[in-house]
Structure 1
């Protein structure tokens, strides 16, 4: 039932690992693009969120959630290397023995660093663009970042598990439908779920925090707060995709177990 989707993920892992093996630098650039593409989602989220936040609009979460989906849409359709997506893809390929766990950890590390670099560069571009030139301590970017940087480690960890479970469901379901409109709908609706429910996504936070820090931050929005958030969120994101999607669907759709079951049925017939 799920073997075709697992095979698609394994084929993606082969392609991604091939790029990494042939040129780590080119792979790093692809990962930087993903960080920047997600940054586009952060840019739009802050741009539409600020006036809604100042007006105390009840539509704030819904509108910002819908707007942030552009980031993952760009990652998947334009093509780039997203760390949180690779948590799904390379856990699947490692369990399938298509790639080794060593290869998996290397790709995770390079994609994470590339995403961070891309988010930082994009945040600097936003600063010099002057889009948020008047951003102060009460700007939506600051209040949102403060909330994320002051949540407890336990809250961040479990929010991160749920976040990448939902985000990677957008990737998983995109492999199970053929219609482009359906693919985009799934991306935007699932990203909206993640944003509206106030979950934590490490790569999203790279640019959300990066833009806020580039504009001066606050007493709470600091590099220390960035690191405090990112550690439990990164670990939670790995578990969300690696266990709740990759491992569970691998277990359900394990070909060897299916073949053994078929053999037993044939013998008993």
Structure 2
């Protein structure tokens, strides 16, 4: 059986967090940029599926492909790292300073990668701004406006709403991170990661890295949204909500109930080398 017991799974999360806390800035930026781009690609695929089929639910089914690629390739997604490094820091595997360093640089890498793909997709969908947005492009414009000025119309209530949606979103995203470690097989990891991501996207929750792509892409194609609208009514409250959701709903409960050990366990390569030594 390739099933990993919950206690071992949480220890694996702590191991992963300790390793990620020691990554160089260069590695964090490169892996973060690729992760941001892949999530942007998955988002555009989901929008395409919804537009072509006329069924919004279709987009939810295909969107998790981006997250699966990120998990399987060991890339840096800041929102998932909120739980992974949260667990490792609570377990004493690494200091909180190293954790915030990872969160900051991976967030910046995600942002750069998302913006690059947003620009490239805007060029592709508008023939380099030679044609007005239509179909998928028009839908992205509508989404960008709904995620910013749509909340602004409700004032403080809009900020509370977007914050809560972000908390719920990263509960599921970090569950996806956790469940990707519930199996030692590739298929098990893919299936485990797929389920929670399908849930968050299908319910329209708010994800910071998805919004790093979809809102700028909409702005590039004519959405009536300013940079201030983007950050005030979405990116800042969503990032904070994702952070709180990852820590409160996943990292803290996992640490409290499964109690990962404080001392890092030997890496498999080191364990294999011991008899020879």
Does 1:238 pair with 2:243? yes
Distance 1:82 1:200 in 2: 15
Structure 1 residue 131: Cα displacement: 6.5
Does 1:72 pair with 2:73? no
SS at match of 2:65: helix
Instruction: Tell me which of 84, 87, 96 is aligned to 2:91.
Output: 96
Instruction: Tell me which of 72, 95, 102 is aligned to 1:107.
Output: 102
Report the equivalent of 2:171: 165
Kindly indicate whether the alpha-carbon contact (under 8 Å) linking 2:9 and 2:182 is maintained by their aligned counterparts in 1.
Answer: yes
Stretches of structure 1 that go unaligned for 5 or more consecutive residues are 257-269
Structure 1 residue 9: Cα displacement: 1.2
Stretches of structure 2 that go unaligned for 5 or more consecutive residues are 152-157, 262-277
What do residues 174-213 of structure 1 show as CA deviations (whole Å, max 9, x unaligned)? 1112343233223333222111111001011111112212
Structure 1 residue 69: Cα displacement: 0.9
Kindly indicate whether the alpha-carbon contact (under 8 Å) linking 2:40 and 2:213 is maintained by their aligned counterparts in 1.
Answer: yes
Distance 1:145 1:130 in 2: 16
Question: When the two structures are superposed, what TM-score results if normalisation uses the length of structure 1?
Answer: 0.84
Distance 1:100 1:11 in 2: 13
> Which stretch shifts more, 4-13 or 162-171?
4-13
SS at match of 2:246: helix
Report the equivalent of 2:219: 213
SS at match of 1:139: helix
Distance 2:207 2:98 in 1: 23
What do residues 198-256 of structure 1 show as CA deviations (whole Å, max 9, x unaligned)? 10010111111122122232x2x332221020111111101111111111110011268
Report the equivalent of 2:37: 36
Report the equivalent of 1:129: 124
Distance 2:259 2:64 in 1: 32
Equivalent runs, 1:19-34 vs 2, <5 Å: 19-20=23-24, 24-34=25-35
Report the equivalent of 1:118: 113
Q: CA RMSD in A?
A: 2.0
SS at match of 1:19: coil
Distance 1:10 1:155 in 2: 31
Instruction: Tell me which of 13, 27, 33 is aligned to 2:17.
Output: 13
Kindly indicate whether the alpha-carbon contact (under 8 Å) linking 1:42 and 1:68 is maintained by their aligned counterparts in 2.
Answer: yes
Kindly indicate whether the alpha-carbon contact (under 8 Å) linking 1:10 and 1:93 is maintained by their aligned counterparts in 2.
Answer: yes
Does 1:203 pair with 2:203? no
